[in-house]
Structure 1
Amino acid sequence: MDAYFEDIGESRFLPTKHTQGPWDPGYQHFGPPGALLAREIERCAADDGGDGALALGRITYDILGPVPLRPLTARAWVERPGRRVRLVRGELLEAGRPLVSAAAWAVRPAPDDTPATGARRRPPAGPPGLEHAPAVIPDGWACGFLDSVEWRFAHGGYGRPGPAAVWLRPRMPLLDGEPMSPVQRTVLAVDSANGISAELDIRAWGFVPPELTVHLLRPPDGEWLCLDAQTSVGPGEPGLTTSTLFDAAGPVARSAQTLLVHHR
C-alpha cells in the first residue's frame, strides 16, 4: 500500500514499510506516527463543541520508547476545554502499552486587523531544477521512510556533518485516500531535522530524540516544504536540534529536539 498506515478500525492503524526508520528495521521513523497522533489531536480539538476557529499553536511529544512496526492505537482527549484556549492530550499505544504521549495547545488566532511585526525570513533557495535533482541517501541512512520522501538539498545533506536545508515532499498520504492536513505535513517533515543536520556518523553514533516540540506559525502552502536545521552536540552535554520549516512564502513552524547521544 502506498500510504504510511492502513486504518484497521477501532482507532487502530497498521504501519506499512514506508514508516521504517534508520536506527532499526523493526522500528518506525517518528515522522509518520507523530503525524498520525497529530491527526487524532486535530480531530479531537475540532470536535469538542468548538466552532472550528481554534488553531493548533504547539504540540509537544514525549517519545516513551521506540515505535515498532506493529498495529498502533491512537487516541486523544480534551484536558482543558475553552472557547479561546484549549489543551488536548493524546497517546499512541501498542498492545495497550503507551509509546508516545503528546500535549497540544489550540488557541484562537489573532484578529484579522492585528498589525504584522518583524520581517518575514525567506526560505533557503532550492537547487536548480527542484523537480529533477534527487538526493543520494548514503550508507547507514537508507530506510523505508527516507525512500518515501523526495529530498532536494539546498546545502548540507545526509552523511555530511553540519547544518543543512532541504526541500522535501512526501510521495504518499498518511492514510490511503485521505490528504494530509497542514499540521500532519508539518510534523512529518520536522522530525527529520536531527537527521539532515547530524554532526556525527550514524554508523558509529546514535543521536535519538526522546521528545519533539513543534510551534506552528501558520498552515504551509504548496507541496514542497523546506526544513532548515542545525544540531549541537558535545562531551558531557545532551544534544539539541533546532529547525525552521518554510513554504515558498516564509516560515510556517519551528521545532526543537533533545538528543540522546551514544556510541552504537
Structure 2
Amino acid sequence: MPSFFTLSGFELIPAPHARGPWAPDMLHGRLLGGLLARAIEREHGTDELRPARLTVDLYRSSKLVPLTVSTEPVRDGRRIRVADASVTGPDGTIARASCVMLRPGSHPPGTAWTPEPWDVPSPDELGEPNPREGGGMPTFEMWRIGEGNGDWNGEQRRRVWMREAQPLVEDEPLSPFVRVALAADLASPIAHWSTRGLNYINADYTINLSRMPEGDVLGLEAGGHLSADGIASGHCVLYDLSGPLGYINTIALANRRLR
C-alpha cells in the first residue's frame, strides 16, 4: 500500500490520500500525531525508557503541503525523559507534542481496581473489516463491535478494532509507539459521535500508556463524553489483543464538514 508521506531531504511530502474527512484539501490530523511520535522516538527514544505519555495539540489545519518536524529535549533524568516536537508547514507551525518517557522497574505490591476484561469478539471472529463510509481509499482497517456492526448513529457505547493499512513514511515500518499515535486521533469520533453523526473536530489528544502494544491490531472503547457550548471532552480505553494498555483523552470543538 502507498505511504502517506515520502521524504525529500528534510521535508515530508503528503500523498493525496493523506487528506482528512473535514475538507478535500485538508491533511488528516491523525497523521500529524504519527509524525510527531515518529520524530520524538527517532531522536530521543532509547531501549531503557518507555513512552508513557504523549500529548498532541492540533491547533492549526494544514493543506496537503510539504512539512518538516523538529524536536527539542526538555528534561533528561535517570528515570524520566521529556521531549517536545512540532510540525511546521509553509504558513508556520501547525501542531506540537510533548512526550514523557519513563524507566520501567520492579512492580510494587498491592492490587488497584481495574475494569472488567474487555469481552468482545476479535477481528478474526468479526470477519472482514467494515467498508469505509463514502467509499474512497481506506487508510486503515476498522471493525465496529456491537449489534449491526456497531451502527454509530445510535446512542450505544462505541467500540472498534483498527489496523493500519499503509506506512506513515515511505519504506519505514510502523513502530508500536507510532501505531498508537496514529490510532489515538480516533478517540475523538468514538467518544463524540452522536445520533446526528460527527460534529466535533479534534483539538488535542493525550495518550497515557502503561505498556507498548503487542501486534498490529488496536482496540478503542468509548469511556465517556461531556459537552457544552460547542466544546466536547471525552476519553477512550486503549486495547490490544492481550488486554487494556492505556487511556486516550480528547478535547474537540463543534465544526461543520466541508466535504
TM-score > 0.5, shorter chain as reference = yes
Deviations 1:197-223 (A, max 9, x none): 411534xx6301211111122111122
Name the SS for the 1:106 alignment partner: strand
Instruction: Judge conservation of contact 1:90–1:102 (CA < 8 Å) in 2.
Output: yes
For 2:87, the equivalent position in structure 1 comes to 92
Identity %: 27
Which residue identity does 1:30 align to in structure 2? G
> 2:72 — aligned with what?
77
Deviation string 1:109-156 (CA, Å, 9 cap, x unpaired) is 132x544734575334136744733214335xx565xx1111111133
Query: In angstroms, what is the RMSD of aligned CA positions?
Result: 2.5
CA deviation profile, 1:160-202 (whole Å, cap 9, x unmatched): 4542111111111212222111111111112112223411534
Aligned to 2:6: 6
Give, in whole Å, the separation in 2 of the partners of 1:243 and 1:84.
Answer: 27
Conserved? CA contact 1:21–1:143, under 8 Å: no
CA distance in 2, matches of 1:117, 1:201: 41
Letter of the aligned partner of 2:139 in structure 1?
S
**Number of matched pairs:** 252
Partner in structure 2 of residue 32 of structure 1? 31
1:22 is matched with 21
Distance change (3 Å), C-alpha of 1:174 and 1:27: same
Counterpart pick for 2:164 among 170, 180, 191: 170
Which residue number in structure 2 is paired with residue 209 of structure 1? 202
| 1:21 Cα deviation after fit | 1.0
Given the two structures, how large is their TM-score scaled by the length of structure 1? 0.85
Offset of 1:243 from its aligned partner?
0.5
2:102 maps to 1:107: yes
* Separation in 1, partners of 2:109, 2:173: 33
Unpaired runs of 5+ residues, structure 2, are none
Relative to structure 1, the CA distance from residue 15 to residue 117 in structure 2 (aligned partners, 3 Å threshold; closer, same or farther) is: farther
SS of 1:163's equivalent in the other structure is coil
What is the CA deviation profile of residues 42-91 of structure 1, one whole-angstrom value per residue up to 9, with x for unaligned ones? 12223xxxx63111111111112113211110111101222221110000
1:240 lines up with 2:233 in the alignment: yes
Q: Provide the rounded CA distance (Å) in 2 between the counterparts of 1:243 and 1:24.
A: 25
Alignment of 1:54-203 (within 5 A): 54-95=49-90, 97-111=92-106, 113-115=107-109, 117-118=111-112, 119=114, 121-126=116-121, 129-130=124-125, 132-139=127-134, 144=137, 147-155=138-146, 156-197=150-191, 198-202=193-197
Question: Cα deviations across residues 224-260 of structure 1 (Å, max 9, x unaligned)?
Answer: 1111125525443621121111011111221111111
**Given residue 130 of structure 2, which amino acid in structure 1 is its aligned partner?**
A
Where in structure 1 are there 5+ consecutive unaligned residues? none
8 A contact 2:202–2:250 mirrored in 1: yes
Q: How does the TM-score come out when normalised to structure 2?
A: 0.86
Stretch deviating more after TM superposition (169-178 or 128-137): 128-137
